[in-house]
Each structure stands twice: as structure tokens, then as C-alpha cells.
Chains A and B, each alone.
Chain A
Amino acid sequence: GAGVSQTPSNKVTEKGKYVELRCDPISGHTALYWYRQSLGQGPEFLIYFQGTGAADDSGLPNDRFFAVRPEGSVSTLKIQRTERGDSAVYLCASSLTAQNEQFFGPGTRLTVL
């Protein structure tokens, strides 16, 4: 069956630009998570959705980062005025409900020049 997919797989942008990263979760999974992973580090929690609402967005580093999940399925992570420090792999995961096995996508590698 289809797993979690993320697009694009790679994104190169210039400092100051706006980017959108998309996540398609497994059908029927109510929980969706966004993480950021830098080289040699563990995934850093950003935000998690239960249905359409953000159950916890305490991991978003600042107000340049925003995420939506308007219909409780696909989610978009939006980053405004990108900075070089935003360069990382952005991982999305989904689970049937919270506190259950998370299924991860392959990630989007974001490079800010």
C-alpha cells in the first residue's frame, strides 16, 4: 500500500524566499507530524496535527514557520523569508492516532543558499 509521500524531494532556494513543503499521509491516519533533521542529529519535533487542528505547535522555531492541514489529510509546511540556518531535511510522519507507530516519509532536503 501507499506510504507517506513528500514533495519535493529536494528544494534549493535563495535566502529570503518563501517555500512550501507538502506531505501526503497514509489514508485514514488522523495524526500527522513534521520534524526537522540536521546532519548527525535526531529528528527535531516541529508540529503535530490531530485531524485538522494543530495539537501541539510548540516546536516551530519562530513565526516564519507555519503549517496547515485544512481537510485533515494533506499537510503543507510553509517557511517565509528563508534563512541559511533553515537548511535541513524536513520529515513528515503519520500515525493512526497519536502515541502509535509513526510512518515516516522520505523527507524533503531543503537547501537555502
Chain B
Amino acid sequence: GENVEQHPSTLSVQEGDSAVIKCTYSDSASNYFPWYKQELGKGPQLIIDIRSNVGEKKDQRIAVTLNKTAKHFSLHITETQPEDSAVYFCAPWGYQKVTFGTGTKLQVIP
């Protein structure tokens, strides 16, 4: 199966600073790369995704960058706000299967 690693496992930033979370995967056939946000007591929610034919995608304060050669993709959050505090998961799709990362707990300090 696919090996997926996320770093860091926890991240604390001051409000207004940027946060970057990296996801490394092993399956070279992976071609769809989403990031999910999970708040306490709720199911994960997609915040941004990218496909393998694109290197970067941005949606307001959130961006994702993909390096297929090195097999990693990263979530970038700029101008962080307290409501960004949550657990974030990468979930790359390999052949016919999705594997979630172990999660990054982001704390934004007001």
C-alpha cells in the first residue's frame, strides 16, 4: 500500500503568520492530491486539491504545491486566523485507493 507521511505533527503559529505542512507519498502513480481540515467532533472537509498536471493552486489564503518528481505536496496557509486551528490531513490517491496522512494539529495563537 501507499506510505504517506505528514510533517510536522503539530504546529503553533502566531495569528497573521504563515503555516506550511508537507506530505510525502510513495506511490508514483498517485495523481490526485487533496487536503482536508477536521474540526473537533466533525468529519474532514476538503479545503483544496490539486491534480498531477498542475504544479500549484491557490484559493485566497490557501495554496497547495506539488512536486511529483520528489513525491511530495505541501499546504500553505497565509495570514493565519484563529479559526484555522484544526487538524489537517493530506490524502493522496494512488491506484484505486486513497490513503490519509497521520495529521497535523495546527494551533493559531491570537
Could you list which residues of chain A lie within 8 angstroms of chain B, going by C-beta atoms?
4, 33, 35, 40-45, 48, 55-56, 58, 91, 93, 98-107
User: B90: nearest residue on chain A (CB-CB)?
Assistant: A42
- CB contacts (< 8 Å) of A43 on chain B: these are 44, 89, 100
Supposing A104-B44, A104-B45, A106-B43 touch, asked if A41 and B96 sit within 8 A by C-beta, the answer is: no
Min CB–CB distance A105 → chain B (angstroms): 6
Chain B interface, number of residues (Cβ within 8 angstroms):
23
Report the tally of A-B residue pairs with Cβ distances under 8 A. Answer: 55
CB contact between A91 and one of B43, B101, B102 (< 8 Å): that residue: B43
Q: Does B25 contact A (CB under 8 A)?
A: no
List 8 A–B pairs whose Cβ atoms lie within 8 Å, in order of A's numbering. A40-B103, A43-B44, A58-B1, A93-B43, A99-B31, A99-B32, A102-B36, A102-B91
Q: Does B46 contact A (CB under 8 A)?
A: yes
